[in-house]
Structure 1
Amino acid sequence: MAWDAQAPDWAEPPQTAPRWPVWLRACLGGIEDPLGAMSRARLQLFLWMPVALAGGVGVYFARLTEPSASEYALAAGLALMAAVLALRAALPMRFPAALVMLAALGFLLAGLRAHSVAAPVLSFRYYGPVTGRIVMIDRAASDQIRLTLDTVRLDRVSPARTPARVRVTLHGAVPEALEPGAQVMMSAHLSPPPPPAAPDAYDFRRSAWFDQLGAVGYTRSPVLRAAPPDPRDWALAAHRTRMRLSQAIQARITGQPGAIAAALMTGDRSGLSEATREAMRRSNLAHLIAISGLHMGMLAGFVFGLVRYGLALAGRPALIWATKKLAAVVALIAATAYLWLAGPAVSTQRAWIMVSVMLGAVLMDRRALSLRTVALAASLLLIWKPESLTEPGFQMSFAATTALIVALGPWTRAARRLPRLLRPVLMLVATSLIAGAATAPIVAAQFHRLSEYGVLANLLAVPAMGLLVMPMGVLAAILAPLGLAGPALWALGLGTGWILRVADWVSGFEGSVLAIAQPDPRVIPLLALGALGLILTRGVGRSVSVIAILAAALLWSRAPTSRPALLIAPEAQQVGLMTAEGRALSKPGAGFISGRWLEADGDPASVEEAAKRPAFTGTRATRQTQFRTAPLIHLTGKSAPDRLDEACTPGAIVVIAARIPEAPRTCELWDLTRLRDTGAVAIDSEGRITTAAQTKGRRLWTRP
């Protein structure tokens, strides 16, 4: 149509779109119509809410220094100004303004949360009497029982310097009378939460800070029960109930199948042996023993179906009653009871929020499974516990759920053309493949391993969870007050026994686990933003998303060749030198740190195998090798300072597990005094030094 010459003065003639090539128009579709793109984006603001919040939270945790009061004030002002723009600005500005507001809010929430949980952290090694109340009983990686205590009292340590919580591993005999709420006393070795094993390694101090865990340690002395649990202590009533139910389940279902059943039904994993845990990890079934969205969803789904179809048997009243909503209410009550019983684990709380949001959608006549419900659940979690963003469980849960919802539409269309009998089987295969593909990058980046037969293990084990384990657990809970839970527990044991056999079988395959080198820390954020961009954007947004994913892949491909040539442990207890055969360790031992190094290298060798690699020579207390053009000597033992003068030759690098008052200037010395300031040390093949203090910064949780 020709331009109307009688149009008002303020009207502009329509602009003819440039005749770009088809492929370029596809890439720049959002730019051709910016107003339309902004309008579409504004309608999707709810879906972008957790992304923007996560951006602000991520900025807080990525900083190397703690934000100052002025920086918090600046973020608050930015959030307020962006909120005003989001409400009153012109249409193209509203969506970006809303994203800025949410990001600033995420930054503020993360800082508020970090300061609100502040508690004393032990700054020295302590040995002496420890008194406290048991708040948690679990099992360490060494298969030893460990106790988490609060209301802690330490000899000759003022209350202002006493940690709110400590965790003690029991190396001696374990009393049978231990239960949550009991007051206990012991003589224990305590130390601050350990620093990272390497500059780029996971920092346990951060998670300990948010758990208010101010010291960890061990005891070889007997644990004495000073007082029984206070019956009026309702805060630990759930934990006591959990432990009693766990003991009852394991008394009826013996062995590790009973321990798995107790873990699934009550959240108590103290009965699981390290061999069982490792088999579950190697077969990619570890998610089955950590109560998560799978368990909560199966339980709520079974209760929902049981109540809804049960009410349908009522006949004519079922036509009047809102049976679907009644079933949703009962399922929500069951999920809440499961949350109360299973305890305060973050994965359990996250699962309950997701299930509650979905059941709430049913009550409001909305779709239970949609990107909006996932976005709401993620936003609530980030507002409540912003540190969840840094946890693998949060990342994997929402990655799997989002991928399954995105794939639900195409699957529904494809399923109509499939034989009815094959649909459930193919649905199981499809969900396992989709969830596995969505979480595989996170598993590989966070745990440095991939289970090559994980899909097979899940195809065999997950149906037993849904068809036998969770339904029988619910029935056992219903029948237990009547004393009729025996048959249900027997069937429950069959299901958990099958899961254990699948885990043992799959983990025994040759090459069942593929070792993956630790990627650059930017890889997971880039992958996440790229995947979300593909889902939530069009045109140029999708092009940028593809670029982000390709950049992440490029960074990850460089991971094996970018590993440090030399690593020094934070307390000089181990030195690792990269060789053509892999990282050679100066000595056996320091199992936790040595294991983390090898995992990050993508090296499947054991600590003992790495210590036997030909690189270091000499006695056990004096290990030496060559690094670049300089001698490298590792000195340990009580007589290490006496051997320093002989080892400290000009140009040599000396690592010594002792404090040297006056460091000699003839060699590069790394002693405990210097390492206390730097933490773990990494040196690359060019001689560039990186320390944990540089990469972790000065944050609330890194200060002594």
Structure 2
Amino acid sequence: MPQGLQIGPVAAGRALAGELLRQRGFLFPWVPVALGIGIGGYFALPVEPGGGAELVLGGLAATAGAAALRGGALSGPVLWLLAMIAAGGALAAWRAQFVAAPVLEWRYYGPVTGRIVGMDRSASDALRLTLDRVHLADVAPSRTPARVRISLHGDQGATTPVAGLTVMTTAHLSPPAGPVEPGGFDFQRHAWFARLGAVGYTRVPVVALRPPDPGATRVFRARMALSDRVRGVLAGDTGAFAAAVMAGDRSGLSREVTETLRRTNLAHLLAISGLHMGLVAGFVYAALRLAGAAVPYTALRWPVRSVAALVAVAAGAGYLMLSGGSIATERAFVMAAVALVALVFDRRAITFRALAMAALVVLVLRPEALLSPGFQMSFAATTALVAVFGGLRGRARLRSRLLRGVMAVVVSSSVAGLATAPVGAAHFNTMAHYGLAANLLAVPLMGMLVMPAGVVAVVLMPLGLEALALTVMGWGLDVILFIARTVASWPGAVGHVPAPGEWVLPLFAAGGLSLALWQGPLRWLGLVPLLVAGGLWTQVDRPGILIDDRGALVGVLGENGRALSRAKGAGFVAQVWLENDGSGREQAAAAALWPAQGRVRHLTGKRRAEAATCAQGEILVLNHDPPGDPGCEVFSPRRLHGLGAVAITRDATGLHIRSARAVAGRRLWNDAEIRAARLWRAQ
């Protein structure tokens, strides 16, 4: 073999080793990235791995980690990478087993008893209760879900749902539904990790059976008590907004307010995240430090800065507990705690190491968080902010404090908005065109007025004087709501984009992380996956025909957009289909496009199904099973039960059918046989 062919790999290995040596001291932030790759790999599997997969992967991680300790400049980092990937897969597999709980396998109608452990609002703006300690009539405890979620419709009588109250009602329950189209959001997976075994609704008034449990729901009751105190002073949307910010309670928020904030990219003000945690901890730290410095005795004898930092950590922990502990809040608290402890030891506060620690804590505790919009948007924004402000550190500074503050708000809002825009558009199919303007007006109010007043209100609550501070807080929130409604009313405030393919977000993440974390000129190679992701998104091809999993709705894509077979009914499915198309059209408008005659027909009702006939080459969709073969391609409940939602494309070679169940694979959360085998072993 010619010598030149042998030099190539050697030279490449030396170059790679040299590049890794230049990254020495900067590789720790890649640890949660590798962990995330392993977690993502587990969730991407088409079939649930066999029992003991977490032990095998854990053994591989330990072996690779041990070898990495003796590895060289090149082999060491590579082995650590493999160890963390295997550890991520092991964590995800273990977590999926750990949260295992029964899932309702049939439709149920009857008495439901349980304890209220959660309250929020559904997409139809109905109050929704999450119950544990569930009892269903004639259902064995071993088959009863650990938790159920019930939407309350109709007149609910005199009973007011409160945290910890044991209630009874008569409800319709069903198993968590699968994706409404192949490759869509998998609610079954989300419900599995929330230990939610059934969802449904009731039109029967909820009846209180036992008073609130003072034990296990203590934190939840404290949150709701705080929310009630806030809404007792501030009424309407303002009070609901304040309760969401202070206690993480969104049950009082109207759909109109939520949608308005989303249309202006201000919905992040509802999520207790880095902004809120930073403001609370920062306000407590600054107030205590100023108070300590104002007293000569403490200023000269006490380590005021360290004491203020540690008290601010405690305040952040309390806020984390009262807020409900969402993913964004956990990330924000870990970063704030690391930053404040760094101040105690005179170290730099905000670094990629702090961000990596926050990501590790979240992923180790809840690996499934990797797939959530909250995790992705929170860490995308924070990574971009740390990278940009780290790059600006030491550059030319403005002398005016006012100008520095204004520029900080402009830069942070712009950077966070750009970093989260692809993630938000991919998950929610919308882009707020005037979001930057809304944030530049609203965020300073949040920082200078709303959150400081909220902290003061909590301090004054034991004295019964919280109304003074909450009134000031309400003024700020009223202005923010005015800004949101004004900006949302501007023409073209919201744009719509189609749902991207499965590789788009991972490519965006790879490119963004390379630009932010890699050291040296090779970081600019991160632009390649970003450009590829953008190109793939622009070329996304939506399915020509969509059929929901019960045969209740059909959508056909035409020149004027997607035509829907019904103007009412299956509203959630219709909304998701149209959003994924990048269409802002309402269901009724899409139904007006449905052709009177076409190759796709949709018939509803048992009698029409019994008399249905069709010609060869047609597609017939029914919401009841026909007695025989109508003579064409038929999709009825019997067939759809094994397929789930269906996407069909037609070309010269014929029909190409893609089912939601085939795409989702056979996993713990969607396959009764696998679930039964694993739960039997666990028992």
| Structure 2 counterpart of 1:588, from 553, 560, 567 | 567
In 2: Cα distance, 1:652 partner to 1:358 partner: 64
Look up the equivalent residue of 1:325 and give its one-letter code. S
Look up the equivalent residue of 1:103 and give its one-letter code. I
Q: Does 1:61 align with 2:50?
A: no
In 2: Cα distance, 1:576 partner to 1:64 partner: 27
Which residue does 2:587 correspond to in 1?
Answer: 607
| Structure 1 counterpart of 2:175, from 192, 195, 218 | 192
Work out whether residues 327 and 362 of structure 2, in 8 Å CA contact, stay in contact via their aligned partners in 1.
no
Q: Does 1:678 align with 2:658?
A: no
**Aligned pairs (5 A) from 1:239-254:** 239-254=220-235
Q: How many aligned residue pairs are there? A: 661
**Aligned pairs (5 A) from 1:446-525:** 446-525=427-506
Deviation of residue 698 (structure 1)?
0.7
In 1: Cα distance, 2:553 partner to 2:22 partner: 56
Deviation of residue 441 (structure 1)?
0.6
In 2: Cα distance, 1:200 partner to 1:530 partner: 23
| Structure 2 counterpart of 1:116, from 92, 98, 107 | 98
Which residue does 1:702 correspond to in 2?
Answer: 670
Deviations 1:63-86 (A, max 9, x none): 111111365454234323311220
Which residue does 2:595 correspond to in 1?
Answer: 616
In 1: Cα distance, 2:648 partner to 2:439 partner: 41
| Structure 2 counterpart of 1:96, from 66, 75, 78 | 78
Q: Does 1:182 align with 2:165?
A: yes
Work out whether residues 564 and 685 of structure 1, in 8 Å CA contact, stay in contact via their aligned partners in 2.
no
| Structure 2 counterpart of 1:376, from 357, 360, 364 | 357
**Stretches of structure 1 lacking an aligned partner (at least 5 in a row):** 1-17, 19-28, 618-624
Work out whether residues 163 and 212 of structure 2, in 8 Å CA contact, stay in contact via their aligned partners in 1.
yes
**SS of residue paired to 1:534:** helix
**Stretches of structure 2 lacking an aligned partner (at least 5 in a row):** 1-6, 673-683
| Structure 2 counterpart of 1:302, from 238, 258, 283 | 283
Q: Does 1:433 align with 2:414?
A: yes
**SS of residue paired to 1:45:** coil
Deviations 1:456-494 (A, max 9, x none): 111111111100111001111112222322221110110
Which residue does 2:656 correspond to in 1?
Answer: 688
| Structure 2 counterpart of 1:409, from 383, 386, 390 | 390
In 2: Cα distance, 1:374 partner to 1:415 partner: 26
Q: TM-score, normalised by structure 1?
A: 0.90
In 2: Cα distance, 1:527 partner to 1:477 partner: 41
Work out whether residues 31 and 37 of structure 1, in 8 Å CA contact, stay in contact via their aligned partners in 2.
no
Work out whether residues 549 and 640 of structure 2, in 8 Å CA contact, stay in contact via their aligned partners in 1.
yes
Instruction: After superposing the two structures, state which structure 1 stretch, 532-541 or 132-141, moved more.
Output: 532-541
**SS of residue paired to 2:171:** strand
Which residue does 1:5 correspond to in 2?
Answer: none
| Structure 2 counterpart of 1:564, from 520, 523, 543 | 543
Which residue does 2:4 correspond to in 1?
Answer: none
Deviations 1:365-400 (A, max 9, x none): 322201110011101111111011001111111111
Which residue does 2:625 correspond to in 1?
Answer: 659
**SS of residue paired to 1:89:** coil
In 2: Cα distance, 1:64 partner to 1:364 partner: 48
| Structure 1 counterpart of 2:552, from 564, 573, 580 | 573
Work out whether residues 30 and 538 of structure 1, in 8 Å CA contact, stay in contact via their aligned partners in 2.
no
Deviation of residue 176 (structure 1)?
4.3
Which residue does 1:149 correspond to in 2?
Answer: 131
Deviation of residue 30 (structure 1)?
8.7
Q: How many percent of aligned residue pairs carry the same amino acid?
A: 46
In 2: Cα distance, 1:694 partner to 1:55 partner: 23
Which residue does 1:26 correspond to in 2?
Answer: none
In 2: Cα distance, 1:195 partner to 1:668 partner: 23
Q: TM-score, normalised by structure 2?
A: 0.93
Look up the equivalent residue of 1:583 and give its one-letter code. R
Q: Does 1:226 align with 2:194?
A: no
Deviation of residue 272 (structure 1)?
0.7
Look up the equivalent residue of 1:87 and give its one-letter code. L
CA pair 542-350 structure 1, distance change in 2 beyond 3 A:
closer
Deviation of residue 54 (structure 1)?
0.5
| Structure 2 counterpart of 1:214, from 174, 197, 200 | 197
Look up the equivalent residue of 1:456 and give its one-letter code. A
Instruction: After superposing the two structures, state which structure 1 stretch, 261-270 or 464-473, moved more.
Output: 261-270
In 1: Cα distance, 2:524 partner to 2:657 partner: 38
CA pair 632-418 structure 1, distance change in 2 beyond 3 A:
same
**Aligned pairs (5 A) from 1:25-40:** 33-40=15-22
Deviation of residue 539 (structure 1)?
6.1
Look up the equivalent residue of 1:36 and give its one-letter code. G
Deviation of residue 37 (structure 1)?
1.7
In 1: Cα distance, 2:54 partner to 2:628 partner: 42
Deviations 1:244-297 (A, max 9, x none): 222222121122111111111111111111111110111111111121121111
Look up the equivalent residue of 1:676 and give its one-letter code. H
Deviations 1:487-520 (A, max 9, x none): 2111011011111111111111111111011111
Deviation of residue 146 (structure 1)?
1.1
Deviation of residue 663 (structure 1)?
5.0
Look up the equivalent residue of 2:632 and give its one-letter code. C
In 1: Cα distance, 2:204 partner to 2:410 partner: 51
**SS of residue paired to 1:546:** helix
- Rg bigger for which structure? 1
**Aligned pairs (5 A) from 1:70-89:** 71-89=53-71
**Aligned pairs (5 A) from 1:309-328:** 309-328=290-309
Look up the equivalent residue of 2:258 and give its one-letter code. R
In 1: Cα distance, 2:608 partner to 2:333 partner: 54
Q: Does 1:47 align with 2:25?
A: no
Work out whether residues 159 and 206 of structure 2, in 8 Å CA contact, stay in contact via their aligned partners in 1.
no
Deviations 1:94-144 (A, max 9, x none): 000001001100000000001100001111110000011111122212121
In 2: Cα distance, 1:417 partner to 1:136 partner: 48
Instruction: After superposing the two structures, state which structure 1 stretch, 318-327 or 95-104, moved more.
Output: 318-327
Q: Does 1:133 align with 2:112?
A: no
Work out whether residues 227 and 249 of structure 2, in 8 Å CA contact, stay in contact via their aligned partners in 1.
yes
Look up the equivalent residue of 1:601 and give its one-letter code. D
Q: Does 1:649 align with 2:628?
A: no
Look up the equivalent residue of 1:652 and give its one-letter code. E
Look up the equivalent residue of 1:565 and give its one-letter code. G
Deviations 1:600-637 (A, max 9, x none): 00011111111111x322xxxxxxx43xxxx2211112
Work out whether residues 549 and 645 of structure 2, in 8 Å CA contact, stay in contact via their aligned partners in 1.
yes
Work out whether residues 545 and 648 of structure 2, in 8 Å CA contact, stay in contact via their aligned partners in 1.
yes
**Aligned pairs (5 A) from 1:1-20:** none
In 2: Cα distance, 1:419 partner to 1:73 partner: 58
In 1: Cα distance, 2:508 partner to 2:516 partner: 12
Deviation of residue 638 (structure 1)?
3.2
CA pair 39-261 structure 1, distance change in 2 beyond 3 A:
same
Q: Does 1:346 align with 2:327?
A: yes
Deviation of residue 413 (structure 1)?
4.1
